[in-house]
Structure 1
Amino acid sequence: MNDKGLRLAYILAVLNAAIIGFSFLFAKIALQHAQPMDTLAFRFAASFAVISIPVACGWVKLNYRGKPIYKALLLAAMYPLGFFTLQAFGLQHATSAEGGILYAFTPVVTLLLAALFLQERTTILQKLSILLSVFGVVFIFIMKGSTINLSSMTGISLLFLTCVAFAGYSVLARSLSKQFSPAEITYLMLGIGFAVFLIVSLTSHGANGTLEEFFAPLTSTPFILSILFLGIVSSLITALTANYILSRMEASRMSVFSNLSTITSIAAGAIFLGEEITVYHLLGSLFIIAGVIGTNLLGRKGAAAPEAAKTGHGAASE
C-alpha cells in the first residue's frame, strides 16, 4: 500500500471527526428554524449543487458504465437515507445524549460487519482498543449524568439502527471502492439524498397546506450559514473524504475515528457555548484517543488494501 496515500487517509479521518463534531452545533442552529426533514432537504440540496459544478464543467469525470449501480443505490439507502431518517425519528422518542451513547457503538457494529462480509481480521489488541474508545465516549456521557432510558425502546431501537446503517455503509463503501472512484460514489449518494429528502419534505408540506413554511427559513442568515456548513463541509467534504479513506483503510480501522467527534463536540461547546470542561471530559478523551491509536497501530502488518488502492483508481479520477 502507498504510504503517502495511507498517511493522507489518516489525516482525512481526523479531519472528518472534527467536522462531524462541529456539525452537531450547526444542526442545533438549523433545527431552530426548520423541521428535521426540511433541514435535510436544504442540506443535501447545497451539497449536491456544489458537487454538480465540477461535474458539469468536466473537471471531475464520472463513469458508471458497466458498474454495479444497484450496489451504489443500496449504499445510498444506508447512508444518507437510512442513517438520517432513523436518526430524525429516533430523536423524537429519545434524547440526543442517548443518541450520542448509542452512536459510540458504531465501531463495534462495523467491526462485526466487516469481519462477516469483508473477512477483515483484527487482533485482540485492536478489538480491545475499539472497546476502549467506545468506553471513553460512554464514560463522558455517564459522568454528565446521561443514561439510556429503557422505557423509550422505540427511540433507542431506531438510534441503534443508525449505527447499523452507518456500519453497513462503511463496509459496502469499502467493497465498492474496487469498482467506483470516491467522486462517483459521493455523487450518487448526495444526488439520491437530495431527491428523496426534497420529495418527502415537499409532499408533507403539500399535504398539510404548509408549503410556505418550507421556504420561510431561507430568510434567516444563521439558518443559511448552518445549511452551507452542513451541506458543503459536513456532507460533501466528509462523504468524499470518507469514500477515499475507505479505499485505503479497513472499515474497522476507519470507524473508530468517528468517536473523536465527541472530543470536537466538547471543544466546540467550550469555545462557542461557554460550556465547562471537566476532569472526566479530559479522561474520557484520553480513552478515546488511546483507542483510536491502538486500533490503527496494533494491527497486523501488511493488511491488504482493496484493488482500487493498489491501482490508484480511487484518487486518480478525482
Structure 2
Amino acid sequence: MPDFNPTQYAVPLFVVAVLAEMIWAKLRAPEAYEPRDTLVSLAFGLGSTVAGALLGGFALTLFIKAYDYRIFDFGPQWWAVWWAWPVCFVLDDLKYYWVHRAGHRIRWMWASHVNHHSSQHYNLSTALRQSWTGALTFGFLFAVPLVLLGFHPAMIAICGGLNLIYQFWIHTEAIRRMPRWFEAVMNTPSHHRVHHATNPRYLDTNYAGVFIVWDKLFGTFTPEVDDEKIRYGIVKQLGSFNLLWAVFHEWIGMLTDIWRAPWKHKLSYLLREPGWSHDGSRETSDMIRAKWQARVGTVAPLATSVADRNPIAGEQEAA
C-alpha cells in the first residue's frame, strides 16, 4: 500500500503562489489582502491539519472495514490498475460535489463549512481557510459508496488530495477568465468567485470541485457577470478577526436556536437549510433571491432542477 500524501508536496508551491499573489495585489489590487484576515486564514489551515490528524482515524477505520465488503476487487496490487485512477478521480469529484452541496443545504454541515466562506477577501490564502470540525458532520460517509465499489481507501485519499490541490489556484481574482473550452468543463477562478459571492444572483451555486459539469448537469450553475461587483463572505459578516469566534460562531448559533426552539422544531434547526426559522423571522437564500428578482424584475440565471428546491443561506448567512 503506497504511503503518499500529495498535499504535503504541494505546500511549498502554495507558499510560493501566495507570496506571488501578494506581490501582484500590492501592485494591482491592494484591497485583495488584509493582514489580520490572512493570519486568520493561515491559522485555519494549521488548525485544520491538526484536527484532521486527530479525528481522521475514525473515517479511516470505517473505510477499511467497508472495504472488506467491496463489490469489485482490483486485486492486491490495486495501485497498478492504471484505469482505476482516473475513474476514481472523477467519481471522487462527483462525491465532492454532493458533500459540498450538502454542506450548504444542511445547517449541521454548514456550521462546519461556513468557515471556508467567512472571509470578505478572495485570495489564495482563503483556500487555506479550512474547517476544524469537518469530521463532526460525517461528510466522509459520502465516500463509502466508492469504497464499496472497490476503490481502496488510500486511492480515494490520494484522489481527494489531488482534488484539493486543484481547488487551491481557483481562489484568486488575479485570473479573470480561462479559455472558453476550459471554462465549459473545468472549475475556474471565475466560477468559484461566484460560489464565494453573497450577491443574491449567485447564492448557492457552483459547488464543483474540479469539473464544473456537475453544476451544469444538476442545475446549480451560474456564470460570473462582469457588470456586478462581487461581494464576498457571508450575508451576516463575522465583524471580527477572533479566530475562535470564526471557527465556532455557527455552531454556537445553531445550538442556541435548538435550545430556544419549541420541541417540534428543534430537529429542523439541525437538519433544515441555514436561514430557516420556524416563525419566518429569517431569510434563506431562496427568499433573498426571490426578493432580488422582484426588485430587478428578472429571472435568476440559476437553472433549478427538480431535485434542487431547497437553496441555502446561513443563519442570515450564505456562501
Structure 2 length as normaliser, TM-score? 0.25
Select the structure that is richer in helix: 1
